[in-house]
A = this chain, B = another copy of it.
Amino acid sequence: MTNHSNHSHSSHPHHHGGGGGSSSAGSLSTTETLSLLALSAACVAVLLNTFQDDGAPLSASIALSGIAFAASYAMIRWLGPTFLRADIKGVDMSKLHRREIPECMGAICAVVYLLVIMVFIPFPFYKDIVAATSGGGNRDVVLHVEHVQQGRFLHRFPHSKLASYLSAIIALQSIALLGIGDDLFDIRWRHKFFIPAFAAIPLLVIYFVDFGVTSIVIPIPLQPYLGELFDLGGLYYLYMTAIAIFSPNSINILAGINGIEVSQSIVIALLLVLNDCLYLFTPYPHPATDSHLFSLYFLLPFLGVSCALLAHNWYPARVFVGDTYCYFAGMVFVVVSVLGHFSKTLILLLLPQIFNFLYSAPQIFGLVPCPRHRLPKFNARTGLLEPSVTPWTPERQPRPPVRWALLLLHRLRLVRVTLDRETGLFAESTNLTILNLWLVWRGPLREDRLATEITAVQLLVGLFGLFVRHRLALLVFKEDNWGVAGGSPPP
């Protein structure tokens, strides 16, 4: 909803190919070319080495992530002029010189990411020993498939997990398709809110067909009443749908300044990687190892493409990421946490997004008027951002409960209300987004400073969340992460 607010959309009539570009528009500098080539060469070397090592999918994943970074970095630069020519562009409204820059570059990241994730499939899943079938009906005859998973750090998956890996790819491809549609057609936010629900369909259908586990572990204090496990049944699918809708949208509404969509996604991904490492580098093999390897395989390439995008999208932005990126990032978090059975942890990491959503709710649901643009106001004189405001006319004043609530929030310094001196009527109130709130607290800030501070908040809240998760969970659950005790080979 606020994502489109920092630029006019591609479908508006702009003159063609205008706005100039930076001097390097469309091509890489020599330094960039050499660095990317060196990185790619190193990654290819690591990748080739994993073949000799008979496996080591984690090394392969890291190497492919480096390649994903290099490929995205170069392609975002190369394809910028193409996007401009195809009228997929926007205007940065928080700059003195408003230039047209390419929009929807997250689509490039999504395509590179998907390609890398597909190329990666053989590394964890390859059946070493397939019976030399006759080409007839015996192609399912596999000898010694249980022997494939040997040793902890070989990290080959039981073959049965292939379906869940594929379902994750399908969900991510779906969100990329729908996100591109959203970017092209500028769908109204009331409709686009449900776009991720469609992308969640493959995830839910395959979960239903392939796993069907809908039980949750009950905290110890409640076990006498509900038993050790409680089968949520259909409610579990509703719960997964809710997460699948919330996560992509929550990234999408914490937007509006250069770099914030990508930097928050990178922080969340890093925290999820940290969480995964807590399970992988334990003194004893943790039963949830597989789930967290699965998570790493999806998160590492995501970090690769996101860092490449951030390099171009950070202040001053030379490209916009588009809704595609926000949805895609949110869906990456959904697939790893839902298929890895740690969706509760994801919720802890999304606390700033949840706060932003709740804080925005009065405007989203129409209690407070919602202007088309809610991004912070750019003060052309100082070059700094200030909180943007909703004006209240004497004819349109808040209803008494809203008025009362806004004044209370004003006292708590959670919003800034300006009253008309003479009449005492509401003149204006700051827009209800976390970015404006931060500006209410920390005064005018430059765009990159605001993005850095919000990203730091995201990191600190997330670290605290993980601390709570791993230290305090043991107080209410008998064992940590019981529900994901996977890894047992198929019977």
Least CB separation from A145: chain B residue:
B491
Q: How far is the CB of A127 from chain B (nearest CB, A)?
A: 7
The answer to whether A82 has its CB under 8 Å from any CB of chain B is: yes
Is A283's CB within 8 Å of the partner chain B? no
Contact of A201 among B118, B141, B483 (CB under 8 A): B118
Given known A122-B209, A166-B170, A213-B133, contact A82–B114 (CB-CB < 8 A): no
How far apart sit A135 and B215, CA to CA, in the bound complex (Å)? 6
- Determine which residue in A16, A210, A489 has the highest number of CB atoms from chain B within 10 A of its CB, and name it: A210
Q: Interface 1/0s, chain A 1-29, versus B by CB < 8 A? A: 00000000011010010000000000000
Query: Would you give the shortest CB distance from A324 to chain B, in whole angstroms?
Result: 11
Q: Is the CB of B201 within 8 A of A115?
A: yes
Does A245 make an interface contact (CB < 8 A)?
no
Whether A209 touches B86, Cβ cut-off 8 Å, given contacts A137-B488, A174-B173, A201-B118, is no
**This chain's copy number in the assembly:** 2
Assess the A287–B137 pair: CB atoms within 8 A.
yes
Q: Are B139 and A213 in contact (CB under 8 A)?
A: yes
Kindly state the interface size class of chain A when it binds its partner.
35 or more
Give Cα A213–Cα B482 distance, bound, in whole angstroms. Answer: 39
Which residues of chain B have C-beta atoms less than 8 A from A83's C-beta?
Answer: 185
CB distance from A241 to the nearest CB of B (A): 14
Mask for A142-156, Cβ within 8 A of B = 1, else 0?
100000000000000
Contact between B215 and A184, CB atoms less than 8 A apart:
no
List chain B residues, Cβ under 8 A from A85. 11
| A174 proximity list for chain B (CB < 8 A) | 114, 118, 173
Chain A contacts to B: CB under 8 angstroms = 10-11, 13, 16, 82-83, 85-88, 107, 111, 114-115, 118-119, 121-122, 125-127, 130, 133-142, 158, 160, 162-163, 166-167, 169-170, 173-174, 176-178, 180-181, 184-186, 198, 201-202, 205-206, 208-213, 215-217, 229, 287, 482-483, 485-491
